[in-house]
Each structure stands twice: as structure tokens, then as C-alpha cells.
Amino acid sequence: MHVVVAGSQGFIGGALVPHLRAAGHEVRVLVRRDPRSSDEVGWDPDRGQLEPAVLRAADAVVDLAGVNAGSRPLTARRKQLVLSSRLRTTELLSTTLARLDDRPRILLQASGIGAYGDRGDVELDELEPLGTTFFADVVRQWEAATAPAQDAGSRVVLLRTGVVLGPHGGALGRLLPLLRLGLGGRLGSGRQFWPWITLADEVRAIGHLLEVDVHGPVNLVARADRNSDVIGALARAMHRPAVVPVPAFALRALLGDFSSEVLGSIRAVPAALDASGFRPLHPDLGAASAWLVDAS
């Protein structure tokens, strides 16, 4: 399969591209700078610039592009950038696909598990309504931007990704070094559910969804566990204590609106992914923690 990937330099994209190539797919990546090799293609979503021929030659597009929402304080200006960076890329890809006579069959579109908002202990499959938080509203607009591709007949999959556990970067980028020093602990009460998946299973799941007849939202999670259990499992795998909790008020002061993604409880279940036949390599915290330590 010929696959075009946007957002290939990010945490997930950087692992996805080699995974797809190892699986035998031909992959070209969209870059905002001048291309440096034959498998790179320049584009500029801010100016609406993308050569349609790039997508005409593809079987599928995977869009992972968007500003990292957790890398800086979420000021009003930063919030607008988080939203606009997602909408511009998605709208450009979706409308370009819709205009092609011989368009790609598949658009795998990044989204987020924050779609549901803080829902306590309620199990959340893909049929649950979206929440009312800032991030839920981002997801609502982000996913709606795929409408032109859907209306034109492309198979669109909305990748509602959870907390991705990887050895370098992602949701654990700041936490793992503290855990290795024995300075980590639960975040807030620790009772909030974190829907998680390892980076290895994230890219496997995306590759799987290229091949199976699934459309619409898919919760990209292996399972959801309480934050204290996630932190505890990681610490045990590193043979370190996890006894230094971070109070909720401190996280709110430090992270602002992004604290809802850390302190909110989202007990998402992978109903659509399970039904599609996908089986994770790391289905529980023990397997995930062991893999993280080995991969670090």
C-alpha cells in the first residue's frame, strides 16, 4: 500500500513511518521545509498549499499533524494555535481528497481520547457523546473537519488516542526521569482512570486499521487503569518507590487547562479496536511496564 503520512516527525509519527515500511508499505511523508529525499513532499497547511498529485498516487493518508498541546502553558493564544494547527492540516487533506476523481480509499485521522471529558468511573466506548472541556471541543471540530473526505466516499477512521506509553517522550516524557530517581508518585488523587496504550501497540493499531474495514471513531487504548496503578506499575518495573505524590492544586497551577487531561478520569474501552480483531502486544500494565524498561 502507498501511504502518505503527515506529522511524521512527532512522537507517534516517528515510530509509525519505520513500522509501516517494515511491513512492506511504500511511505511518503509531508514536510513543511524543503524536501531532502525522494520520499519527502513539501506542503504548507497554513497557506493551503498541497499538490493534489501527491495524494492521487496514494492508497491512504495518515494525518498525525498538530501542535503539541502539553509542551507549553495553554494561554489563550496557545489554545488557538492548538486548534488551528489541527484544523488547517485536516481541512487541507480532507478537501484535497474530496476533489480528486481517483481519491485514496482511506484517511486515518488523529484525534484524542480527551473527546469524552472527565467522566469518572463510567466505561466509555465510541458511541458515548463528546464532553464539554476545551479538549473535547477541539476534538469535536477536528473530527468534523474530515467531513469532505467522508462525504466524497473515503473510508475515514478517527484515531482517538489515549495516553501513549513510550520510553522517550510522549505523555511520560517528564515523568519517567522522576520515576527513575525514585521521585515519582500519583498525580492528584490517583483515582482517575488513564486510558493507555504503548507506543509499540499504537503504531501496530494504526497499521492494522489501514487494512481492516473499520470507519468512524476508534479508541486507541489497550485498557484504562487508575493513575496510581499506572505510576505504581512503572515504578515497580524500575525497582523504585513511587511515594512522592503531586497535589492536584499544583498540577492545575503548573498546567492550567491541560491539567484536565492529567486529572480527568476517562475510562475508555477499545470496543471498536477489539471488534476489528486487533490484539495488543502489551495488554496489561505488567507487560507494558516491562517493555518500557527494556526499551529505555
146 belongs to a structural domain: yes
C-alpha distances in angstroms, 219 versus 9, 140, 157, 208? 23, 15, 10, 14
Higher pLDDT, 79 or 156: 156
Q: Is residue 271 in a domain?
A: yes
Residue 87 pLDDT grade (very low, low, confident, very high; cuts 50, 70, 90): very high
Domain contains 174: no
Q: How confident is the model at residue 251 (pLDDT cuts 50, 70, 90)?
A: confident
> Residue 77 burial (CB < 10 Å; 0-12/13-18/19+)?
exposed
In a domain, 249, yes or no: no
Domain boundaries, position 37 = 2-168+196-221+267-281
As a whole number of angstroms, the distance between CA 17 and CA 37 comes to 15
Cα 108 from Cα 12, distance rounded (Å): 13
Please, what is the average pLDDT of the chain?
Answer: 92
Residue 293 placed within a domain: no
Each residue of 173-209: pLDDT tens digit?
777 888 888 878 888 999 999 999 999 999 999 999 9
Q: Domain holding 154: CATH number?
A: 3.40.50.720
Higher pLDDT among residues 184 and 271, named by residue:
271
Residue 182 lies in a domain: no
DSSP structural state of residue 222: S
**Predicted pLDDT of residue 184:** 81
If we measure between CA atoms, which residue out of 196, 282, 146, 175 comes closest to residue 238?
Answer: 175
Please report which residue ranges of 11-145 form alpha helices under DSSP H.
Answer: 13-22, 52-56, 76-99, 134-144
The answer to whether residue 65 sits within a structural domain is yes
Query: Is 258 among the domain residues?
Result: no
Specify the pLDDT at position 224: 97
Domains: count for the chain: 1
